[in-house]
Structure 1
């Protein structure tokens, strides 16, 4: 598709970039990614970027965990109630001036969060469980029932495989909305994984240090090309800017009911499939 034909398809302009959404139904566990790849093949030109959210990749890989199968330990209960809800919701959070939305969400953490903390403890350890929210990049908002999705496995390989299927000289990137921070010219994130050049797997300690550093926006997890961190962050944030425009964005568990009309632990695959999803965007320089 030639650039002058973009006017005939849905897109927005962000600075000197065209952003073209790829809209799909809900990508289910063990589905292929053809609903993303096929339109990308048709629309993309050499030099374009395809930026994909991490959750549809994870779900397609079957990386779902049912938190109802986990019995919270005393440590998980302490981390949920005393540590996250009260100390971070009322003391540390306000003192460090974290997002007001995050503080409100911490103050109303449901009891089910105890099982979530247990999952984090068992799969990622205390370093990540100490983080008051968004621990280890686990997504609670785009999975059915009491399931959550972990970060994708080997996102760099996935990005390279998708580029190979598209068959053009494009760049494929998989991102997470959890932040990358910068201090003294060094990039870091609390997430377990990130592209080369971003120090990853810092968990709680990266989160705290991040509150005293510059928030650089979404984190690129894997990329089909070697790319400098500054460019990768710029492209990731253009994609995230588009997601923020969507009425169906489910950034937190508390936005699920507003979008789907279902309680978080009652969401079905049919509910998730009832709305239009935008798991990826194509970004093209003008």
Structure 2
């Protein structure tokens, strides 16, 4: 309507000009004048629309980092989370938990020292390590390179054999942390193995918080392995390991390679392993996961080699369970939406009372 009114006004002005005996503009100048005014109105209108769209989707987040002691095997995950978050938790908060402490507490660990080693696995592991080190000469990754160079071939081969037992070839070909199987922050030769049914765990945590603390929250479990998300397509993420979140696709080593080859065309986010709560757009959950991942510290180190260095040990056999508490552990982060104009963040009374 504004545009039509403006065109009518411009036409009237042009008519008054053409009837004036002292001024006779060329027809092309009249058309150019009208077109210029129409373009200005159109640009102004589009600018207002874009600004409104951006402000409607702006989100302001606050992160609370929760400190804890080490979660040893047998720890009651549900009671522990409720105890730790009780002082600060509120309705609609996001309780983001690192996957590793949950796996350790629930006993999803394995001692790689008992794995028998064969010459074929050792040979394949040696070839893969050489190929990856060559790859990293062009696409540097210092942390991974250090892990490959400083871990003995025997330990690498045993790890590869375990990976092949619990996952697929796409994960086996990855250089480290294959299928999410990780040795950091564990003593001796233990590794944590991602478990099936993590969705049930997050649902259980959410239900426990509702029953014990009377709050309705969203619960997310994340892993530090990076997912790939295309900048122009934020509706789906590609992970290098298995997950139970429906908007994440597991492509194993292909996802890992994409992060190097595609460079500026993709963004990297921590892997969302499982999620329970109100349904939000993926790009919002990714932002929350990234904020939480910065708050959740890696304990004794990001890799097993870093752990050895931080503990001043020379062998994994020297690392004991008692050493695990020699570092600060922050397994949980609470992310709170302070301000948002995104329609998906509006609190629903029905959702709030779901578990109450």
TM-score relative to the length of structure 1:
0.85
Q: 1:118 aligns with which of 146, 161, 167?
A: 161
2: distance between equivalents of 1:142 and 1:259? 11
1: distance between equivalents of 2:269 and 2:317? 29
Q: 2:290 aligns with which of 221, 237, 241?
A: 237
1: distance between equivalents of 2:71 and 2:220? 18
> Could you tell me which residue of structure 2 aligns to residue 103 of structure 1?
145
Q: 1:154 aligns with which of 187, 197, 221?
A: 197
> Could you tell me which residue of structure 2 aligns to residue 173 of structure 1?
220
Closer, same or farther: CA 276–108 of 1 in aligned 2, 3 Å: closer
Any residues of structure 2 matched to 1:48-197 within 5 Å, and which? 48-84=93-129, 86-89=130-133, 91-95=134-138, 97-111=139-153, 112-167=155-210, 168-183=215-230, 185=233, 186-197=236-247
1: distance between equivalents of 2:316 and 2:63? 31
Deviations 1:216-273 (A, max 9, x none): 22011101123322112111110111235x7x45111111023333343432111113
Using the TM superposition, give the Cα deviation of residue 98 of structure 1 relative to its aligned residue in structure 2, in angstroms: 4.3
Using the TM superposition, give the Cα deviation of residue 77 of structure 1 relative to its aligned residue in structure 2, in angstroms: 1.1
8 Å contact kept, 1:121–1:129 = yes
> Could you tell me which residue of structure 2 aligns to residue 205 of structure 1?
254
Any residues of structure 2 matched to 1:240-259 within 5 Å, and which? 240-243=293-296, 248-259=299-310
- Report SS of the residue matched to 1:177: strand
Closer, same or farther: CA 250–161 of 1 in aligned 2, 3 Å: same
Structure number having the greater helix percentage: 2
Deviations 1:95-132 (A, max 9, x none): 3x142332233233323111111111122132211111
TM-score relative to the length of structure 2:
0.69
Using the TM superposition, give the Cα deviation of residue 82 of structure 1 relative to its aligned residue in structure 2, in angstroms: 1.9
Deviations 1:182-238 (A, max 9, x none): 2462421110224111112x2222322333332422011101123322112111110
My pick for the range that moved more, 150-159 or 64-73, is 150-159
Q: Which runs of 5+ in 1 are unaligned?
A: 1-14
> Could you tell me which residue of structure 1 aligns to residue 45 of structure 2?
none
Q: 2:63 aligns with which of 19, 22, 39?
A: 19
My pick for the range that moved more, 49-58 or 255-264, is 255-264
8 Å contact kept, 2:199–2:244 = no
- Report SS of the residue matched to 2:296: helix
1: distance between equivalents of 2:66 and 2:200? 21
Using the TM superposition, give the Cα deviation of residue 73 of structure 1 relative to its aligned residue in structure 2, in angstroms: 3.0
Closer, same or farther: CA 165–268 of 1 in aligned 2, 3 Å: same
Q: Which runs of 5+ in 2 are unaligned?
A: 1-58, 339-356
Closer, same or farther: CA 265–36 of 1 in aligned 2, 3 Å: farther
> Could you tell me which residue of structure 2 aligns to residue 9 of structure 1?
none
Rg larger for? 2
- Report SS of the residue matched to 1:42: coil
8 Å contact kept, 1:163–1:224 = yes
2: distance between equivalents of 1:130 and 1:29? 30
Closer, same or farther: CA 143–23 of 1 in aligned 2, 3 Å: same
The root-mean-square deviation of aligned C-alpha atoms, in Å, is: 2.1
